Amino acid sequence: MHAATKAGTVGLASLLLAVAIAIPDITVISRVIGTMLFIFITAPVAAHLLGKATQESGYQIWRNNKK
């Protein structure tokens, strides 16, 4: 699940960094830092919980075994 959250996290971090560079105000920069910390902490936890719930529900993983 790490790879599934990496794209969204890096994309959002890039966007927030661009906002902080475009608007060099201390309030904007502090909100950007707070938002980035929140996303960096919660994205992996959310992905783990989603994967765990899927596994515990008995969902069958699709395997492409055609050769």
Distance CA 4, CA 60 (A): 19
9 CB-contact burial (10 Å; exposed 0-12 / middle 13-18 / buried 19+): middle
CB 45 within 8 A of CB 2: no
Q: What is the pLDDT of residues 23-52, one digit of tens each?
A: 999 999 999 999 999 999 999 899 999 989
Residue 14 confidence (pLDDT) above 90:
yes
Per the prediction, the chain carries an average pLDDT of 90
CB atoms within 10 A of CB 32: 19
* Bigger pLDDT: 4 vs 39: 39
Whether 28 maps to a domain, the answer reads: yes
* Token reading at 46: 């959310």
* Token reading at 18: 């661009």
Residue 16 confidence (pLDDT) above 80:
yes
Whether 61 maps to a domain, the answer reads: no
Whether 49 maps to a domain, the answer reads: yes
pLDDT for the residue 1: 62
Task: Please give the tally of structural domains in the chain.
Answer: 1
Residue 65 confidence (pLDDT) above 80:
no
Whether 26 maps to a domain, the answer reads: yes
| Domain that residue 44 falls in | 2-53
